[in-house]
Amino acid sequence: MKQLTYRFEVSRTFDKQSSSFLETVFLKASLTKSISVKNMKNTRKTIFASILALLLAAQALAVLSPMALADESPENVQSLPAKCEQWGTTWYRFETPLITLIFPARGTKPMFLWWYTKDNSTIYVVKFQGVIEYLAIDKPYYRHRFHADNTTINVTLWGSYIEPKLYQKRYQFGNNWYMSRVEEFKELLSGLHRAYLPFSACNWTLTRPEYVEEKGYWTFNFTLTKVNGHPNLKFAENNIEIRCRFYNTTTTETPDPKYSDYNYTVAAGQLKFDFVVKHWEWNIDKINGFLRKCGLEIPESRTGLALWINMASIKLEDLPRAENEVRYQAEHQVETASQMREVIVNGERYTVSGNETSRDENPVQATLQLKERFRERIRLHFARGEKDVPVGFLEFVPWARLLHPNGTTYDYVNVTASYIAAGGHLRLFICYPYFGNYTLEHDPTIGLASAPLIPELITTKLLWILVGATVVIGVAVAAVKLLKKPVNILAVK
């Protein structure tokens, strides 16, 4: 006897209106020859089992169902009228129909706040906290346990690498030579600069926003002009800049025309940064200067520089706290008021309500695995929960440009990142490998985007698909039961 066979097929089509993929379930069945009564009973059991399996699969199929999208898609906006003005005595403000963005008018610290113009109930905050020279002991990203300061270098590099190598040379050059090198190294450690340069301890100079008509953006710069209280970090003065561009029109940027593959698109209403570091004095260079006299060297790949950024979200009523922080150089006013609960890092949800800063930072896995880095970007979404309101984001390309003194490109280097929940806000560390005496240039961006795609358990369209498929199976059962003769079920769409 031939058996009754059923085959379920899922067809994927693209819905232009919702910009998403729809799943259509097809039921194909064929019945040939005659069926015995015994086999018919088994067939009915099979059919009913198929119905049950289909219904139980609804939740799984829903994952592939249309996603929730914002009514207004910021990514599709090609141009926006933008008005720039001083807002009170504390802020400059860019205002468009989509986004409103403010930043300190006196340039006291690089800090940016923005919100959806039609809904200011949630204000997104990005603060540039500082830069940290770190040791990449066994991971290619920043971890707070490995600051490249004298204490950590003494415990890690000296204890595990330098001292054992010097001790071996004692038999060649004598004990006096060895003891002299030990004392020289101790003196060297005392002259190293601190690993962390906090931007709040610096004076910043702000250039007034100016509109560049032929480019379709506003431009302004933050320049670190004075380091207070950290004499060994004076070399950073006038050598760290945050060059900002607020775009009125969607534009594709190519930093160097000779490397056309390295490009990115900035949408209208987004703020783009060129984070620039020149003439950084590396502690590892001073260590290697000592070691080379001893026939030793630490690989330069064992160190890097991290840009520390805090991401937070506050309510409108907490805006005076941010103003107080800007006006009086207070610390952590925004972070204390932050009500941020979740962030979505490249599609993965991460809870930030708890304080995990005693643990190791989490690597952004995408930055460690990307092969075609010039085609990708890393995005961190603020998570609000609403599906119809644009939400804030910060993103960056996983590569940075190294420049010669004349501004031409020397090389492109990989960029990694790590992050950690800090109790209502997120600490993000964008990590740059050792770049010697070249100029580093990297390009983070902030703005608004459609709410991250969240699968619905079951949609109306999917429900009708399941009902239709169930009806088809029911008809097959009735045909077998009542007619008891061959039935052909072709296809249902």
Domain borders along the chain are: 5-67+455-489, 74-149+192-449
Residue whose C-alpha is closest to residue 27's, from 43, 3, 8? 8
Residue whose C-alpha is closest to residue 297's, from 287, 308, 307? 287
Structure-token pair, residue 17: 């209106």
Q: What is the dihedral of CA 12, 18, 19, 24, to 10 degrees?
A: 0
Residue whose C-alpha is closest to residue 219's, from 311, 397, 81, 94? 94
pLDDT string in tens for the chain (493-residue length): 444 444 444 444 434 333 343 444 444 444 444 444 445 555 555 555 555 445 544 444 444 433 333 345 777 778 889 999 999 999 999 999 999 999 999 888 999 999 999 999 999 999 999 999 999 988 889 999 999 999 999 999 988 889 888 888 888 888 899 899 999 999 999 999 999 999 999 999 999 999 999 889 999 999 999 999 999 999 999 999 999 999 999 989 888 988 888 888 899 999 999 999 999 999 999 999 999 988 889 999 999 999 999 999 999 999 999 999 998 877 889 999 998 999 999 888 999 999 999 999 999 987 777 766 666 889 999 987 666 789 999 999 999 999 999 999 999 999 999 999 999 999 999 999 999 999 999 999 999 998 766 444 444 444 455 556 555 555 555 555 555 544 443 343 3
H/E stretch holding 275? strand 271-277
- Is 74-149+192-449 assigned to CATH 2.70.98? yes
The pLDDT of residue 465 is 54
DSSP notation for 25-72: EEEEEE--S---HHHHHHHHHHHHHHHHHHHHTHHHHHTTSPBP--SS
Distance of CA 400 to CAs 176, 396, 438, Å? 46, 10, 12
DSSP E strand stretches across 315-454: 342-345, 348-351, 362-363, 378-382, 391-396, 399-403, 409-414, 416-421, 426-433, 439-442, 444-449
Q: Where are the alpha helices (DSSP H) in 351-451?
A: 365-369
Amino acid 207 reads T
The pLDDT of residue 48 is 52
Q: Are 178 and 196 in contact (CB under 8 A)?
A: no
The values of phi and psi at residue 432, to 5°, are: -115, 135
The pLDDT of residue 462 is 47
The pLDDT of residue 46 is 53
Burial letters 108-121, b for 16+ CB under 10 A, else e: bbbbbbbbbbeeee
CA separation for the pair 126, 120 (Å, rounded): 16
Q: Are 376 and 398 in contact (CB under 8 A)?
A: yes
Residue whose C-alpha is closest to residue 424's, from 359, 354, 322? 354
Structure-token pair, residue 386: 């609403």
Q: Where are the alpha helices (DSSP H) in 295-416?
A: 319-328, 333-337, 365-369
